[in-house]
Structure 1
Amino acid sequence: MTPPRYDKESTALVLVDPYNDFLSEGGKVWPRVKPVAEAVRLIDNLRALHAAARKAGIQVAIAPHRRWEPGDYEDWQHPNPTQIAIMRRHSFARGEWGGDWHPDFAPRPGDIIATEHWAQSGFANTDLDQQLRQRGITHLIIVGLLANTCVESTARYAMEIGYHVTLVRDATAAYSEELMRAAHDLNGPTYAHAILTTAQLLAALPGPVIAE
């Protein structure tokens, strides 16, 4: 697959759920993600893409999950299995370390921080689309957690409303290799415009970016 052109004026790097609970040792969800994350060098690749995007002048956006608060989902008619798990383990709890940004991916001035999504799509019931379109963004590079849930749902929604979507195989993780394969080899080709590795994407970004 030939990488598309990524113009800095129209491209955004979208970080999905970059919380300590997902990405840091001691996080509530990290133990389930860790085997795949370490196998693909997730943290190193996210750091490389994050730094390269900023160096190239590409817009950085964060699509954060709802930070759990007492009472969340308890009186809902149809909480999904992920929401039930969050309700039980208090993932991404507001005001706690696990619900803070991983320090390497904390927002900086000029970043987009979308309103928090309650389910899996970073677009559904948030202001992410409006914030991107107001800045002339047409191309999205979507990374973060999890490959087969929030990343996939955010990317599918983006395609549906007209964005060019790039997935990055080794800048995401899931609970198993089978789920990673489903995300990138089975489902991804049905909606994504490009599915690249971190090295391929770094080589395609504008500016003097050199992969390590």
Structure 2
Amino acid sequence: MNNANTTSNSALIVIDVQESFRQRANWAATSNPDLVRNVNRLVAAQRAKGELVVWILHSEPGTGTVFDPERGFNRPIEGLEPAAGEPVLTKTSHNAFTTTNLQQQLTQLGTREVLISGIRTEQCCETTARFASDLGYDVTFVTDATATHPIEHRDAPAGRTLEEILADPRTLTTDAITARTEYALAGRFARIATTDELTQAGPTQDGTEGN
């Protein structure tokens, strides 16, 4: 977004697409190997329209986890780069609003729509979408620009390898997680969209489709 802009009708929220996740063993089972590519396509489209891109990073200070800023992984994943003037906000809650000034920034710009992308589909992304809807924003959830990982059953023993987790029939697969998220959001909290739908060329002035 150009620093001179004082309004933005829409905001692309890129949630937690950070190096922290790549330090976890379950990164090998990520649902969306095209995540960075699709996020970059959305970012490029937003910038081309002069609309806002907001980068959210998750932080867990003092925990010693991969989200502890002392570990040095709280930065955008390789291949993503915030532009000058694009807000980079750090959150400590699941949704992107509660522990940041995101709502204040969007209000100042007159933003009406938010586009949701990031990690993880059913956690921080879905929670942000629900929260944004309750705040009155029009929410578009770009599922193929989100990613998640298999979820163990609540009674599963701790400390298992990724192979053991994947072999457990009680483990919720990434396909099931994604489907459940879309079912829960669609028609209630958000419109479901794809990266292709949001980045394809619109009609030209003569009514024909652009390249």
TM-score, normalised to structure 1, is 0.74
Change (3 A) 1:192 1:52: same
How big is each residue's C-alpha offset from its partner over 1:103-159, in whole Å with a ceiling of 9 and x where there is no partner? 433322221223x32221111132110011111111100100101000011110000
Distance (Å, rounded) in 1 between the aligned partners of 2:45 and 2:126: 23
Change (3 A) 1:204 1:155: farther
| Kept in 2: contact 1:42–1:173 (CA 8 A) | yes
Other-structure match for 2:148: 174
| Kept in 2: contact 1:166–1:194 (CA 8 A) | yes
Other-structure match for 1:36: 31
Matched, 1:187 2:184: yes
Query: Gaps (5+ residues) in structure 1?
Result: 1-7, 73-86
3-state SS, counterpart of residue 47 of structure 1: helix
Distance (Å, rounded) in 2 between the aligned partners of 1:18 and 1:183: 18
More helix by share: 1
- Count how many residue pairs are aligned between Structure 1 and Structure 2: 177
Matched, 1:107 2:82: yes
| Kept in 2: contact 1:167–1:192 (CA 8 A) | no
1:141-152 residue pairs with structure 2 within 5 A? 141-152=115-126
1:53 offset after TM fit, Å?
1.4
Change (3 A) 1:204 1:180: farther
Query: Gaps (5+ residues) in structure 2?
Result: 1-6, 150-173, 205-209
3-state SS, counterpart of residue 166 of structure 1: strand
Q: Which amino acid in 1 is paired with 2:114?
A: L
1:183 offset after TM fit, Å?
1.1
Other-structure match for 2:53: 60
TM-score, normalised to structure 2, is 0.74
Percentage of pairs with the same residue: 27
3-state SS, counterpart of residue 18 of structure 1: coil
Using CA pairs below 8 Å that are at least 6 residues apart, which structure has the higher relative contact order? Answer: 1
| Kept in 2: contact 1:56–1:205 (CA 8 A) | no
Candidates 87, 94, 106, aligned match of 2:69 = 94
1:95 offset after TM fit, Å?
4.1
